[in-house]
Chain A
Amino acid sequence: MKIVVCIKQVPSTEARVQMDPIKGTLIREGVESVVNPFDEYAIEEGIRLKERYGGEVTVISMGPPQAREALKTALAMGADKAVLLSDRAFAGSDTLATAYTLSLGIKKLGDIDIVICGKQATDGDTAQVGPGLAQRLNLRQITYVSKIREINLKNRKITAERLIESGTQVVSTALPALITVVKDINQPRIPNIFSIKKATRAEIPVWGMQDLGGDPKDFGFDGSPTQVVRIFTPPPRQGGEIIQGEVPEAVAKLIEALTSRNIINL
């Protein structure tokens, strides 16, 4: 079984991430980076599928060169191979361009049986890349998967439980498919020292725009119809006004305050 897991490196959820008010981007310098927590569940599920059905797990990430660290973490957990999609031309990608880039990377890997993504990244919080990627790869998709019940390799079928607002839905579809997973699906393992050693020795190929082919205008900033216009921290809430004094007086003041602001009209 050929399993592909897509991951993203994000600022640590424990780090105090600040925003650059002028550029409208996150200040990533000096902030510890981690594997997107939802992607850890995706990696773990990929490894479990391999343990259950045999095969090979390839992790793939689009990001700056340091995203290599996230891929090494996935290798340490037990993934077999890793590929980094990195190129200056990918900078400024929105979810559409990201899904496009990842889809070319995955196509380059050859035939696959399943693609696993975390349901969303904790920095962008869009939950769009998984579904967008399924569309680009022309794969069936099951989102918000909380349990894979069965994969039938002979009949090329997957049955999974997905979390919906009112409960759990059981869905079957044909392979190859893409799933996005929620944290209920498993408990990611702690790597052991031997797999860490293996990971530190692993070579991670880096594929740029030239390696992927595709249309230059569909990558990065040019391929991104959505642009972040502004990003800001909401101003802290100001303390309200406390009206003190005897009740009749205070009520009169309150009515006046609300009336003058056109909130009530007595």
Chain B
Amino acid sequence: MNFDITEEQQMIKNMVAEFAEKEIAPFAAENDLEEKFPWDIVKKMGELGIFGTVIPEEYGGGGFDYIAHAMVAEELGRVDSSVRGIYSVQVSLVALTVLKWGNEEQKKKYVPRLASGEILGCFGLTEPNSGSDAVSMQATAVEDGDSYIINGNKMWITNGGVADIALIFAKTDKNAGARGITAFIVDTKTPGFSTRDIHQKLGLRSSNTAELIMTDVRVPKENVLGEVGKGFKVAMSALDFGRYTVAAGCVGLAQGCYDVAKKYALERVQFGKPIAGHQLIQEMFADMIVDIEAGRLLVYRVGHLKNKGVPNTREVCVAKLFCSEMVNRVAYKALQVFGGYGFSGEFPIERYYRDARINTLYEGTSQIQKLIIANKDLGISAF
């Protein structure tokens, strides 16, 4: 086993850390407060090729490995989870999924433009009445000549209101359960496609979350991603990518919580010494350190498996479950270190705390992760 970070991973990590520090962190609080989508930041990320880190060079990316990909998510998550979320969806859920399931024409058409940030993508699986039970989706796609006509709504879609393309999952056969679902690449400018932004979220306030409303949206057959009836498999593999960057983002956010708490604890004096010197505070720091390091190792192990190209659904669910719960524990303790100041908007810990919460909910709740993990081991599905 080799735990050393490679030279190129280190260089990517340094570069994104510098970018995050200089170009994201100074604007994060304001963007959060005003629910402002960070277009400038997204544009700069595109220019620096950040969205293309893990994309192969032949499709306009940098050709870096999955651990470098996690490090990007980590460094973005360390300062702004909203930006990390934009990255995760754009790269993991959309670009890597098109790369895995698309035909050569689709890959050439979309992946380089996603890698450069020229276009943004979103991922439409969840519906108002279909979350954990994805197979119960109601969106339909009906064959009509050379096209499919899609009808239905998608809910809680990150990048939904700003995306140029959407991966949409819809039923092409209502009676076939999971085998009746098909994936489509949908141009969001297609007539009948509209969105409604969702406001007043607890966290991720500068990332765009929207409902997608599709009324008789005509999509050419050439935009079917993968095969007809194989959409559920496409969705599940996309989540194997997506959950990976969520887990990595959680490690980054937890590190961000830790870093600000550490700075505060070394400066804040009570009972005649910095509070970092008090035993009960030190216990919280020790807990945070152990939690973050365990999470990071789980994430990098998944990266190692992804680099090898072997199945990793179980391991990615383990990492996602642990890291999403972990970041909430760490955010809680880090905020506790701040005392009353943590409850105000004066320090970023308040935003970090709110941003941590989503992670146990999206891309599969913690409960769903547990059911997948146990099922992989026990061989009996609970749903």
1/0 per residue, CB under 8 A from A, across B12-54: the answer is 1011001100110000000000000000000000011110110
Residues of A within 8 A of B12 (CB): 193, 196
* Residues in A178-198 with C-beta less than 8 Å from chain B: 190-194, 196-197
Is the beta-carbon distance between B49 and A190 smaller than 8 angstroms? no
Known: A72-B11, A73-B11, A76-B11. A192 touches B63 (CB 8 A): no
- Our count of residue pairs bridging A and B at CB distance below 8 angstroms stands at 46
Known contacts: A190-B22, A190-B48. The answer to whether A196 contacts B63 by CB under 8 A is no
**What is the predominant secondary structure among interface residues of chain B facing chain A?**
helix
Task: Give the CA-CA distance A62 to B93 in the complex, in Å.
Answer: 46
Set of chain B residues within 8 Å of A199, measured between Cβ atoms: 11
| A193 & B7 in contact (Cβ 8 Å cutoff) | no
Give the distance in Å from the alpha carbon of A217 to the alpha carbon of B140 in the complex. Answer: 83
How close is B75's CB to chain A, nearest CB, in angstroms?
12
B11 contacts A196, C-beta separation under 8 Å: yes
B8 part of interface (Cβ distance < 8 Å): yes
For A188, the closest partner residue in chain B by CB is B18
Q: Bound state CA distance, A46 and B12, in angstroms?
A: 23
For residue B54, which residue of chain A has the nearest CB? A193
Chain B contacts for A197, CB-based, 8 A: 8, 57, 62-64
Contact with A along B44-82 (1 / 0, CB 8 A): 000111101100010001111000000000000000000
Contacts of B48 in A (CB 8 A): 190-193
Q: Is the CB of B15 within 8 A of A200?
A: no
**Contact across chains for A193 and B18 when beta carbons are under 8 A apart:** no
Contact A193 B52 (CB under 8 A): yes
Q: Mark A206-236, 1 if CB is under 8 A from B, else 0.
A: 0000000000000000000000000000000
* Interface of A (DSSP majority class): helix
Q: What's the minimum C-beta distance from B77 to chain A, rounded to whole angstroms?
A: 18
8 Å CB contacts to B: which residues of A69-123? 69, 72-73, 76
Q: A139 to nearest B CB, angstroms?
A: 32
Chain A 9-49 interface mask (CB, 8 Å, partner B; 1/0)? 00000000000000000000000000000000000000000
Look across to chain A and name the residue whose beta carbon is closest to the beta carbon of B47: A192
The answer to whether B49 touches A193 (Cβ under 8 A) is yes
Query: With A and B bound together, what is the CA distance between A194 and B47 in angstroms?
Result: 11
Alpha-carbon distance between A191 and B50 when the two chains are bound, in angstroms: 10
Question: Residues of A contacting B11 with CB < 8 Å?
Answer: 72-73, 76, 191, 196, 199-200
Give min CB distance, A181 to chain B, whole Å. 20
Taking the nearest CB of chain B, how far is it from the CB of A61, in angstroms? Answer: 16
Most buried by A among B47, B48, B63: B48
A83 to chain B, nearest CB (A): 18
- B62/A193 in contact, CB under 8 A: yes
Q: A190–B22 Cα gap in the complex (Å)?
A: 10
Q: Is the CB of A196 within 8 A of B62?
A: yes
Query: A186 vs B14: C-alpha distance in the bound complex, in angstroms?
Result: 20
- Distance, CA A200 to CA B7, complexed state (A): 7
Q: Bound state CA distance, A18 and B15, in angstroms?
A: 27
Q: What is the chain A residue whose CB lies nearest that of B57? A: A197
Q: How far is the CB of A160 from chain B (nearest CB, A)?
A: 27
CB of B180, distance to nearest CB on chain A (Å): 40
Contacts of A191 in B (CB 8 A): 11, 15, 48
Q: How far is the CA of A193 from the CA of B69 in the complex (A)?
A: 12
From residue 327 to 345 of chain B, which have CB atoms closer than 8 A to chain A?
none
Q: B64 contacts A190, CB within 8 Å?
A: no
Question: Chain A 156-192, CB within 8 Å of chain B: the 1/0 string?
Answer: 0000000000000000000000000000000000111
Q: How far is the CB of B66 from chain A (nearest CB, A)?
A: 15
Residue B8 contacts which of A190, A192, A194, A196 (CB distance < 8 angstroms)? Answer: A196
Residues of B within 8 A of A72 (CB): 7, 11
B residues 236-288 touching A (CB-CB < 8 Å): none
A190 to B61, CA, bound (A): 17
CB closest residue in chain A, given B9: A200
Partner of B53, one of A69, A190, A193: A193
Complex Cα–Cα for A194 and B48 (A)? 8
Q: Which residue of A lies closest to B23 (CB)?
A: A190
A198 to chain B minimum Cβ distance, whole angstroms, is 10
Measured CA separation A199–B64 after assembly (Å): 13
Q: Nearest Cβ in chain B — how far from A39, in angstroms?
A: 16
CA distance A199 to B15 in the complex (A): 13
CA distance A199 to B23 in the complex (A): 23
CA distance A191 to B64 in the complex (A): 15
Bound-complex Cα distance A238 to B64 (A): 54
Cβ contacts under 8 Å, A193 to chain B:
12, 15, 48-50, 52-53, 61-62, 64
Closest to A199 in B: B11
In the docked arrangement, what's the CA distance between A190 and B11, Å? 11
Is B7 within 8 A of A194, CB to CB? Answer: no
Contacts of B8 in A (CB 8 A): 196-197, 200
Chain B residues in contact with chain A, CB under 8 A? Answer: 7-8, 11-12, 14-15, 18-19, 22-23, 47-50, 52-53, 57, 61-64
Residues of A bordering B, CB below 8 Å:
69, 72-73, 76, 190-194, 196-197, 199-200
The 4 tightest CB contacts between A and B, nearest first, are A193-B62, A193-B49, A200-B8, A192-B48
List 19 additional contacts besides A72-B11, A197-B8; criterion CB under 8 Å. A73-B14, A190-B18, A190-B23, A190-B48, A191-B11, A191-B48, A192-B47, A192-B49, A193-B15, A193-B49, A193-B52, A193-B61, A193-B64, A194-B62, A196-B8, A197-B63, A197-B64, A200-B7, A200-B8
